[in-house]
Structure 1
Amino acid sequence: MKAKAFDSRLFKRILVYTKPYKARFYGVIFFAVALSVFAALRPYLLKKTVDAYIQPKDSHGLLMYIVLMGVVMLFEVFSQFYFVYWANWLGQDIVKDIRMKLFRHMLSFRMQYFDNAPVGQLVTRAVSDIEQIARIFSQGLFMIISDLMKMIVVLGFMFYMNWKLTWIVIVAMPILVYVTRIFQRKMQVTFEEVRNQVANLNTFVQERVTGMKIVQLFNREAIEAEKFRQINDKHRKAWVKTIWYNSIFFPIADIISSLTLGMVVWYGGIRIIGGDNFTTFGDLFSYTMFIGMLFNPLRQIADKFNEMQMGMISANRVFDILDTTSHIQDTGTIEAPDFTGNIEFNNVHFGYLENEEVIKGVNLSISAGETVAIVGATGAGKSTIINLLNRFYELNSGEIDIDGTNIEHYTLASLRKQIAVVLQDVFLFADTILNNITLNNPDISREDVIAAAKKIGVHDFIMSLPQGYDYNVKERGVMLSSGQRQLIAFLRAYVSNPGILILDEATSSVDTHTEELIQHATEAVTKGRTSIVIAHRLATVINADKIVVMDKGKVVEQGTHGELLSKPDGYYKNLYESQFLAAEQN
């Protein structure tokens, strides 16, 4: 949906977030009204001062009005302070609520959503787009209300003082309104283009910084720099358009304002020189202020409306994500107990894309306490089996049961709490080793972690690092080797005490010592619990209780190592001789 210049439906949706802050919301409006009244009183008091005290040379009355003007200015400053402070405060509270809701919503998305959504774009939505929504309140809505109130009050004073002179001002206002409307329409298009280019820029930078190693390994610096130059140039051109329209509009608005002021002073001055009672010197003095107070808000409303547009466009983008229903259906009512670990795949079909099945009628039985190795060529569907067991994706058809209950009947949180996964590509946060192991779970103490680390044989490795368990591994764990990251992942899985353990245990490019640690950790964490291993090493395959062989989304063979090797021309036998033995010999 394309954001309109003013989408009332969208605006009402934004206003819903002001409900918890009603008192402050109406307080801001009150101070906006007070500010307009006190601002308009100053020129009126100036008129009275000139006509009643300066021209008659009444110094006592002059002092009294000067003091009165000072008091009015103090009230104006007081109103201005609370108006600006509360408007910004309200905007930030609303942004806090929307950002929290957005992040929680994103946390519940199925993996398929993140497969297709650029990370940089999501970051833009959650950070800069939401921050722009705050400007609807701090720089947009309330400023427009304040300016409109000021214009209404100023016009009221002007008509009260000299309605005939005021009509000169009224005649000029439609011209400025028309120019403002054209400006606003042009800016709507350019602002949407700006937000698009900001998202593209964020996405590009995010991906290149994350994949900097690949960029440098393949000597892509010059190519990526050129791509960045093109995207950056589009971003610059989008902003230059906004600068161009601003450069045209504001001088035109100033010319209209100046010409109107000149006409009022000229016409009023001629009538005073002519000796009639059409106007007074006090009127002319106050009108020089009133015209600025009338035309400047009208001119600035266009600028404030731009802020509203930017906020509305950003809100539209944020609400698009909030309206996305890419969730795993968490309709289960059973809290998963401590799993025994009996797993059944019953005629399971699944595809990441419509009409392109990756898993084709898989039937598989895993008994409690078994270690099952899944082997097969790349793309056979091994990792997909793991994703389906964790309910990262919805099945097309079929059923997966754990301990005799369909996994869809368990609550999602309790199901995943009972299944621990060690992935081949281990992700660590920019935090301490301890926090990466516990993931800030208050139920897992430092003592628990240390005891578990000693049990699976990684305590000495951790203590060899600077600060030990308090060592910060930086973003994505770059301070550790791939083998060390995997050891941390083993420990993270072990301390969660899962009923079912899943390992993607690739150990390519790992030194002999780390290999031994991983082998020991694997034996420790799989002991006594149901374990599914995507096997890449000969030792894992041979020691598994059962080997499941997959090809093109189907289970083609299963049995023990000896049983499968005894099959002449069997798929596993060929895979064993061509892949596992060759890898072991290397």
Structure 2
Amino acid sequence: MLLSSSISLIGPVIVKEALDNYIPNKNITGLVLISILYIGVFMSVAIIMKHRMYTMGEVGQSILVDMRQDLFRNLQYVPFNYYDSRPHGKILVRVVNYINSLSDILSNGFVNLIADMVTLIMTIIFMSFLSIKLTLVTLICIPILLIVMLSIKNAQRRAFQKLSSKQSNLNAYIHESINGIKVTQSFSRKKENMKIYEELCTDCSDSWMKAVSLNFLVWPTIETVSVMSVSLIYIFSILIFSGEVSIGLLVAFIAYVWIFWAPITNIGNFYNTLINAMAYLERIFEAMDEKPEYDNENAISLENVNGDVTFENVYFEYEENSPILENVNIDIKAGEKIALVGPTGAGKTTIVNLLSRFYKIKSGNILVDGVDINDVTLKSLRKEIGVMLQDPFVFSGTIMENIRYGRLDATDEEVIEAAKIVRADDFIREFNDGYNTYLNEQGNGLSVGQKQLISFARVLLSNPKILILDEATSSIDTETEALLQEGIEELLKGRTSFVIAHRLSTIINSDKIMYVGDKHILEEGTHEDLIAKKGLYYNLYKSQYMEV
């Protein structure tokens, strides 16, 4: 940068010498030599610029890679409530769009800013060398420019913050619409959705117009001020410094004035880009600053787990002063099968989420084999807990890779054995590529029930000591469920299990059934005990099986 800026500024000095000395004296030899020097100057600058642009492009891209990795890494560790409170589309736009928008400013913007600052300083030095008086005349216009720039700075920042918010809303709505397209089409909501989308697009467009209208004030302001400074040079040279300024000096100095204003124009453009980028950077760093869930400093690894689980006076709330669970006490011995039943929203899923430490309890303790789960490493805790959710999820990759997801060192034979136990092997082999059938994230070609069986095999393969089945068989037909139940019984042997099910037929044989409601465990006992009580569980069972 120093070389290119310094060498490029030699040009006007060469022109001055040619006009003031070589041409008037008809020194052809000297003029040829100085012309060769002039060409050499620009060739040198071109070579240096090529290397500078390549190097800074590489540096800028490496910064983007680091930023993407830092942001994605933090998103892997932030607690669940971060995702609960934000549309996934808004998170996605930060990871992809906002960081992509910084590509130019990181690859070229900052380095060009430094280069322009160097050029500016070097130009002032060269101008002062030619004429201190004319240099001071040039600098008269700088305060005018600063006043204009400062007056629109805050308005620009607010405008781009608003634009960033509107773009984020638009992206979130697109993401939501794509995920819910089946519901949209089944309810014929296409026109209504298009109207909402059109409004969001209009908001985006209006915000963009307001933002760039402020940006467009910068360039013409700099152009106007630069023309004013050149005009002042001519006026002062003719009226005030008459006789002191030669033709060569005037031409060379005017060339330096234009060189002087070129980096200022670039800095003004960079300023516009920076104001735009700041709105994106604020959102990116907001996500980076979200506190991840790390292990305690003295956390231990949970080893040789038996499967005893204890909840001691557990209190939990998602929002301040809105408790979901109050003073919940549960004592489960290793190998017991526990069923959680109750109305929707009572907190059944919350209980098992707290055991997996997806959320932090406000007070109380949760123990596994007598050890507080907050005192163990997350990795060792979740390695011992297998979670099977109501909504199965498959990742892009083969069926084999999806089942092996939680245990990468498993052999093909172990994967196939797990699939056989959960009754997934038969339908997998019906595919032309069998276990090597490639799936996208939507699970192309698979029914919801088949995806659930693959998810079940995935959990089984990880061989956890504690198993959580959250409505795990809700998407499977009755015939398949009957077959799967055999596999589940094999899976549950020797494992502590929590089963959440609305179909009570699947949990009748549980060692203990807990009725969750009104923020507490309201009833607890075996199926026979609770039926004999004729309480809440009895009424729930009776509503499903009228013959009771």
For residues 302 and 443 of structure 1, what CA distance do their matches in structure 2 show? 56
With over 3 angstroms needed to count, the CA separation of the structure-2 counterparts of 1:332 and 1:152, relative to structure 1, is closer
Q: 1:353 — aligned with what?
A: 319
Q: Deviation of residue 435 (structure 1)? A: 2.3
Q: Aligned letter for 1:212?
A: I
Within a 5 Å distance, the mapping from 1:457-472 to structure 2 comes to 457-472=423-438
The alignment status of 1:576 with 2:541, answered yes or no, reads yes
Q: Aligned letter for 1:169?
A: T
Per-residue Cα deviation, 1:242-273 (whole angstroms, up to 9, x for no partner): 3323444423432333344345456657899x
Match of 2:319, SS? coil
With over 3 angstroms needed to count, the CA separation of the structure-2 counterparts of 1:326 and 1:514, relative to structure 1, is same
Within a 5 Å distance, the mapping from 1:265-276 to structure 2 comes to 265=234, 268=237, 276=243
Q: Deviation of residue 467 (structure 1)? A: 2.4
Q: 2:227 — aligned with what?
A: 258
For residues 334 and 264 of structure 1, what CA distance do their matches in structure 2 show? 75
Q: 1:363 — aligned with what?
A: 329
Match of 1:150, SS? helix
Match of 2:322, SS? coil
Q: Which runs of 5+ in 1 are unaligned?
A: 1-30
Within a 5 Å distance, the mapping from 1:54-453 to structure 2 comes to 54-265=23-234, 268=237, 276=243, 278-325=244-291, 327=293, 330-331=296-297, 333-439=299-405, 441-453=407-419
For residues 244 and 309 of structure 1, what CA distance do their matches in structure 2 show? 13
Per-residue Cα deviation, 1:208-232 (whole angstroms, up to 9, x for no partner): 2222222222222222222221221
Q: Deviation of residue 342 (structure 1)? A: 1.6
For residues 384 and 519 of structure 2, what CA distance do their matches in structure 1 show? 26
Q: 2:498 — aligned with what?
A: 532
The alignment status of 1:485 with 2:454, answered yes or no, reads no
For residues 155 and 531 of structure 2, what CA distance do their matches in structure 1 show? 73
For residues 38 and 191 of structure 1, what CA distance do their matches in structure 2 show? 38
Match of 2:255, SS? helix
Within a 5 Å distance, the mapping from 1:494-509 to structure 2 comes to 494-508=460-474
For residues 258 and 399 of structure 1, what CA distance do their matches in structure 2 show? 73
Q: Aligned letter for 2:409?
A: D
For residues 529 and 469 of structure 1, what CA distance do their matches in structure 2 show? 28
Q: How many residues align?
A: 548
Q: Aligned letter for 2:520?
A: K
Q: Deviation of residue 441 (structure 1)? A: 4.4
Per-residue Cα deviation, 1:523-560 (whole angstroms, up to 9, x for no partner): 33223322111123344222323222222232222222
Q: Aligned letter for 1:404?
A: G
Deviates more, 1:171-180 or 1:338-347: 171-180
The alignment status of 1:560 with 2:529, answered yes or no, reads no
For residues 404 and 180 of structure 1, what CA distance do their matches in structure 2 show? 65
With over 3 angstroms needed to count, the CA separation of the structure-2 counterparts of 1:424 and 1:509, relative to structure 1, is closer
Q: Deviation of residue 506 (structure 1)? A: 4.9
Q: Deviation of residue 392 (structure 1)? A: 1.0
For residues 204 and 480 of structure 1, what CA distance do their matches in structure 2 show? 27
Per-residue Cα deviation, 1:103-127 (whole angstroms, up to 9, x for no partner): 2222222212211122122222222
Q: Deviation of residue 183 (structure 1)? A: 4.5
With over 3 angstroms needed to count, the CA separation of the structure-2 counterparts of 1:44 and 1:338, relative to structure 1, is same
Query: Identity over aligned residues, as a percent?
Result: 35
**Of 448, 455, 480, which residue of structure 2 is paired with 1:514?**
480
Q: 1:541 — aligned with what?
A: 507
TM-score normalised by L of structure 2:
0.92
The answer to whether the 8 Å contact 1:344/1:363 transfers is: yes
TM-score normalised by L of structure 1:
0.86
The answer to whether the 8 Å contact 2:393/2:441 transfers is: no
Q: Aligned letter for 2:427?
A: F
Match of 1:46, SS? helix
The answer to whether the 8 Å contact 2:328/2:521 transfers is: yes
For residues 287 and 62 of structure 1, what CA distance do their matches in structure 2 show? 20
Q: Deviation of residue 498 (structure 1)? A: 0.5
Q: Aligned letter for 2:539?
A: N
Q: 2:422 — aligned with what?
A: 456
For residues 246 and 456 of structure 1, what CA distance do their matches in structure 2 show? 62
Aligned Cα root-mean-square deviation (Å): 2.7
The answer to whether the 8 Å contact 2:341/2:516 transfers is: yes
Within a 5 Å distance, the mapping from 1:22-37 to structure 2 comes to 31=1, 33-37=2-6
The answer to whether the 8 Å contact 1:147/1:297 transfers is: yes
Q: Deviation of residue 323 (structure 1)? A: 2.6
Per-residue Cα deviation, 1:123-142 (whole angstroms, up to 9, x for no partner): 22222333445544434332
The answer to whether the 8 Å contact 2:74/2:292 transfers is: no
The answer to whether the 8 Å contact 2:415/2:461 transfers is: yes
Q: Deviation of residue 328 (structure 1)? A: 6.3
With over 3 angstroms needed to count, the CA separation of the structure-2 counterparts of 1:401 and 1:183, relative to structure 1, is closer
The answer to whether the 8 Å contact 1:458/1:517 transfers is: no
Deviates more, 1:69-78 or 1:305-314: 305-314
Q: Deviation of residue 185 (structure 1)? A: 4.3
